[in-house]
Chain A
């Protein structure tokens, strides 16, 4: 019962989505299933937040390694949630409806946190990749095998072709021979070799997804429901 009901829900919803793709009359059923999914997705945010809170509280109370980071996570979580839900500093233009302002309206506390804390932090972490890539380029990219040499040569061409360096280096090549320029070679690599490889991977993945979906719909694979102990 514990796994049969969720499986039935998944199977019926999955079948509705498939049928609606081919039979236009069933589109309204699909839309209905979509609305249910939207509600569930919104509830998942709440569950995710509650789970995050519980996990980090456990870590703090048990004084496990790194509990200080958990404390910071919880404080920022609670502060963000509070100022967002209470719409702190977000003023409505409608005087009669002071709570009508959007939770992330410009000038509000949550907007301020997003613009001046969250945004710069995420950008900083992402920007650090450039430094790690540079270090890896020096230490790890070695032409040890034929495959590695082909990969390195391709990387060279694309790295040059994606900047003005490639255009400048092959500026003497006549316009009638674009394939001999770095941008031209890059276009061929991306449009022919990459596309062929990507299509092969995509078709393989699609077949795998179809097989897995069928197993889920038929109840053969119920691993997504968790084990009895969960």
Chain B
């Protein structure tokens, strides 16, 4: 038995992972989520600021992280729509632009079509700028120097929503969904910390540990990976029961494959170490 396990073909492990992930996806089974303080703080702030507050979304990620980060983007945009906040969208990642447009189309223009939110009055899409963190620095004093027009080429001075916006200090909240550089750290260093603008960060799991030192003084909330999205969805569902429906809880649904995948990995670590110690007892390699 030990010999078989020692020489276990890795394809069996791949198959086990496939089953662990695909099974819950097909079964559509999910588990309850309880918001942690990191997420609840972010939710409460969006809830607390007056209706019609200015919220800047910087979606700094690419398709490789879309599966991990899109549920939190969706649920935060949804929450801002419910609160009728004014939304400003931008990205510092070149391949983040279509993902940004997808959220506007899917949530603002489709899901909230009955609110008749208008581009230029209720939301604006600044688009992409290649200047990385320098974009944030200059936006701190003058947004129009980095984005003279919106994505449609319309001058910001001619857009009702941006006519009276001059710099980042006009934002009541910045939401940065980040998968790397430029992203979370740059928004802390050049916006939230020097200008004192409240910042909520959504980050990938691998990047989340780097975000903890900034909470809560430089970052008022943190949504870490799918778990963070699921917790935000739970907070939204607690406040607005309509949003407990399955179609609004993509993050919670994606936690089920993660649940089984984590259990499988724990099982594999235990099994691997069991083999290792069995080898040691038998006088094998140390």
Binding site for B on A (CB under 8 A): 17, 21, 27-28, 30-31, 33-35, 37-38, 41-42, 44-45, 100, 102, 104, 106, 111, 114-115, 118-119, 122-123, 125-127, 130-131, 133-135, 137-144, 152, 155-156, 159-160, 162-165, 167, 183, 187, 190-191, 194-195, 198-199, 202
Other-chain residue from A17, A34, A194 in contact with B131 (beta carbon distance below 8 A): A34
Knowing A37-B134, A142-B273, A198-B212 are in contact, say whether A31-B145 is a contact too (CB < 8 A).
Answer: yes
- Structural contact, A131 and B212, CB atoms closer than 8 A: no
Interface string of B23-55 (1 = CB under 8 A from A): 000000001111010000000000000000000
The smallest beta-carbon distance between A228 and chain B, in angstroms, is 29
- Structural contact, A119 and B13, CB atoms closer than 8 A: no
Q: A30-B137, A114-B63, A138-B271 are in contact. List 15 more A-B contacts (CB 8 A).
A: A31-B142, A34-B134, A37-B131, A102-B151, A134-B17, A134-B261, A135-B13, A137-B265, A137-B272, A138-B269, A163-B31, A164-B33, A183-B36, A195-B212, A198-B210
- Structural contact, A138 and B268, CB atoms closer than 8 A: yes
Interface string of B254-282 (1 = CB under 8 A from A): 01001101111110110111001000000
Minimum CB distance partner of A114 in chain B: B98
Instruction: Give 11 A-B contacts (CB < 8 Å), ordered by A residue.
Output: A38-B130, A41-B130, A119-B98, A122-B62, A126-B64, A131-B18, A134-B265, A137-B272, A165-B263, A194-B212, A199-B213
Knowing A30-B138, A131-B14, A194-B212 are in contact, say whether A137-B269 is a contact too (CB < 8 A).
Answer: yes
Q: Which residues of A contact B3 (CB under 8 A)?
A: none
Q: Which residues of A contact B213 (CB under 8 A)?
A: 195, 198-199, 202
The smallest beta-carbon distance between B129 and chain A, in angstroms, is 7
Q: Which residues of B contact A202 (CB under 8 A)?
A: 210, 213
Interface string of B75-99 (1 = CB under 8 A from A): 0000000000000000000110110
Knowing A41-B131, A122-B62, A165-B259 are in contact, say whether A190-B272 is a contact too (CB < 8 A).
Answer: no
For the complex, what is the distance from the CA of A32 to the CA of B134, rounded to whole Å? 11
Nearest first, the 7 A-B pairs at minimum CB distance are: A164-B31, A38-B131, A34-B138, A122-B63, A138-B268, A41-B130, A122-B64
Q: Which residues of A contact B32 (CB under 8 A)?
A: 164
For the complex, what is the distance from the CA of A228 to the CA of B180, rounded to whole Å? 33
Interface string of B4-16 (1 = CB under 8 A from A): 0000101001101
Minimum CB distance partner of A200 in chain B: B213
Other-chain residue from B34, B131, B152 in contact with A167 (beta carbon distance below 8 A): B34
For the complex, what is the distance from the CA of A102 to the CA of B149, rounded to whole Å? 13
- Structural contact, A38 and B146, CB atoms closer than 8 A: yes
Knowing A137-B269, A143-B273 are in contact, say whether A106-B31 is a contact too (CB < 8 A).
Answer: no
Q: Which residues of A contact B10 (CB under 8 A)?
A: 135, 138-139
Other-chain residue from A30, A125, A141, A199 in contact with B273 (beta carbon distance below 8 A): A141
